Amino acid sequence: MLRLTIALLAMVAVAKTGNEPAPAAQQIVAFKQRTSGPIGIMTTSAGSPIELKDASSTLNSNLILNEYFMDSLTHIVRERIPERLVHAKAAGAFGYFEVTHDIKNICKAKLFSKIGKKTPVAARFSPVIVQRGGTDTSRDARGFAIKFYTEDGNFDIVGFNTPMYAYKDPLLFSSFVRALKRNPATNLVDGNTLWDFLTLQPENLHMFLLVFGDRGVPDGYRHMPGFSIQTYQVVNESGEKHFVRFHFIPDAGIKNLNSKQAQKISGIDPDYATRDLYNAIGKGKFPSWSVSIQILTLDDVKNAKFDVFDVTKVLPQDEFPLKPLGRLVLNKNPTNYFAEVEQLAFNPANLVPGILGGPTKIFEARRLAYRDAQYYRLGANFNKIPVNCPIQNHVLAYNRDGRPPVKDNGKDTPNYYPNTFNGPVPYKDENRVDLIEIYQDDPNNFDQARELYMNEMTKEERSRLVENILYSLGGAIEELQDRAVKIFTIIHPDLGYRISQGLKVNRTSYYRDDEWLNNN
């Protein structure tokens, strides 16, 4: 009874902001206020009106002949679709991208064609590992995905809230997910599998310094940055090549939660970030991000001292400064979560003329993996689901049939190409440019991980990083702890020393001061 009372009080607490009811808590009330009474006669899914007795009771009546009962019962057991393997829990919203700076000299994509141009967008923000019923304040990386509905079809940036990714070789994807997910025997998250993978593939630790650091728990999605991860090849009208990385910096500022705050919030409101985003938009406090790009020429690519396409590394801003591009604004909540967020399907292969994608194996693999995941979850016609439809141009594809929705299924147009019967034809690009081919060496990002630890984190941030690493690593076996200490020492001796000493004493007070730095 006490637990129930606490839970109810918590629900009341998150339902209000000050004295004003929160939009998320008032959604169903707002619907009633917009309508003068019942909106119509309820029907079966086939449209047949339902009589009052059939909707009131089935006792002492024939169940099979009650179509309302049969329609409801057989539908509800089919309402769940496969959960995403990763990024299962998410918040979403809609809005627009507005160009504020001209980049036609490097990219001919129509969404960047002129200053002031607005393109509709859909956004989805998501922890990577937690399941749909998990908490928004878990310590995890986050997905930052944007779908641009352009005149030339959809362009998807499937990014992260970290400026780098975990691994370089897509062969590791399956093992990465399995190591971080639940142990198949115990059905519990297992520190041994996590640290076994991280120490066998240490390039992951560059990103995980941020995950275990302050960035590991954003204070809601409105305060979370986004990064394209990939270095995209773009071309202008003349066919000249350039390369860009996208940055989305929240105008409200980057804010994060510490571990204690995150744990406390998780116990009160596991949907904290989702609720915060919905309420902000519902109150007209539209979240926005300043969008910038880092630009490289082909000579920059050839002369760089490192692989500028390596997703486990950042592009140093002193070498490749940020150039302003535009502004992302989210001003509309989803009307129906399942229809508009759960079915919202991203694919890095969704590119438009002027944006060719990335030349890496990671990008190549994601083109396959994301498409295949949507086929599994939503069916081959997932791009015909309204939220995934390219709303600013007319689709003329030769695909037919398959699992619904099929919409008009191409009507009576020819269903094969080439044909002599006036079916749609491809366009000719006189300045066609193909994606460049690159050679990629083995991953090695210790220098950037060292730079992140020493020069991009404050003394206090380094201490919190160590505390969070020890909280996770402390439960792993000694062999993995020793292996981790060796790798952290390579990143920086101070980091390795603190982790080593913290493991020995099994408490946090030992490494709160910069002891190693002060003594060396």
Query: Residues annotated as binding site for heme?
Result: 370
Which helix (H) or strand (E) segment is 322 a member of?
strand 322-332
CA distance 430 to 105: 18
Nearest to 512 by CA among 465, 459, 463, 476: 463
Annotated binding site: 370
Cβ atoms of 208 and 198 within 8 Å: the answer is yes
**Residue from 457, 461, 460, 471 nearest 499 by CA:** 471
Helix spans in 93-229 (H): 173-180, 191-200, 205-211
Eight-class DSSP state of 517: H
Say how many C-beta atoms besides its own lie within 10 A of residue 228's C-beta.
23
Q: Which two tokens stand for residue 309?
A: 């396409």
Specify the amino acid at residue 56: S
d(CA 152, CA 119): 11
Structure tokens at 271: 């949907």
Beta-strand (E) ranges in 161-297?
226-227, 232-235, 241-250, 288-297
d(CA 145, CA 229) in angstroms, rounded, equals 11
- C-alpha to C-alpha distance for 360 and 363, rounded to whole angstroms: 5
Question: Which 8-state DSSP code applies to residue 77?
Answer: T
